[in-house]
Amino acid sequence: MMGFGRAASAPAPRAPAPAEAPASDDALLVLYANGDPAAATELTRRHAPRVLGVATRVLGSRAEAEDVTQDAMLRLWKVAPDWRPSEAQVSTWLYRVTMNLCIDVKRKARGGHVDLDAIPEPPDPAAGAAETLQNSARHDALQAALMTLPERQRQAVVLRHIEELTNPEIAGIMEISVEAVESLTARGKRTLAKALAGRREELGYQDG
């Protein structure tokens, strides 16, 4: 009896446990699927800002970007019970869903099936309205220039140069080859540089 008691009550001495590591996205999705309400809040806190940021850049409209963010997160909640951690990272999956939702938004706005790469978009007329401060002008200038790019070029440029993803990551998100990503970003950057060429002084970039 004593032996049993000693064996049960005398665990081997252990080093103090390190500070608890934050749960992974995959673990949080499992918790969410099992009914933990806090998991959804944590996943939203981690991922929704990034989705909102990239959707705003790609769409050029904060209101549309918020709708896309909500829709993308809803899709994450729906897929949670069937989530397979080995197949994708949550962030990559969300980028892909967000890019597709952005395309849907633009397609609906055009009211039909149009080749998105064929038609550059006109600059947002609202973008020039707030150019009273130089910082605002720079911000708006970049957004206005981005909006002149065809949809897929804009997506590639935003993912590469603002989200700082690698070309293979972007290829996976946009479901195209790495070479196609390189081509889209190179063409996009050239067009952006040209669009901004005449605005150096206005934006505070002096010659020489």
For another protein, the closer CB: 78 or 113: 78
User: In angstroms, what is the minimal distance from the CB of 171 to another protein?
Assistant: 20
For another protein, the closer CB: 80 or 174: 80
Binding site for another protein (CB under 8 A): 32-33, 35, 37, 40-41, 44-45, 48-50, 52-53, 56-57, 66, 69-70, 73-74, 77-78, 81, 135, 138-139, 141-142, 161-162, 164, 189, 192-194, 196-197, 200, 203, 205, 207
CB 106 within 8 A of CB 84: no
For another protein, the closer CB: 42 or 107: 42
User: In angstroms, what is the minimal distance from the CB of 29 to another protein?
Assistant: 11
Rounded Cα distance between 140 and 124, Å, is 9
User: In angstroms, what is the minimal distance from the CB of 70 to another protein?
Assistant: 6
User: In angstroms, what is the minimal distance from the CB of 80 to another protein?
Assistant: 8
User: In angstroms, what is the minimal distance from the CB of 159 to another protein?
Assistant: 12
Q: Which residue matches tokens 């409209």?
A: 61
| 23 contact partners, CB below 8 Å, separation of at least 6 | 31, 39, 42
Q: What are phi and psi of 188, to 5 degrees?
A: -60, -45
For another protein, the closer CB: 22 or 49: 49
For 116, the 3-state DSSP assignment is coil
Rounded Cα distance between 110 and 170, Å, is 25
DSSP string, 24-40: PHHHHHHHHHTT-HHHH
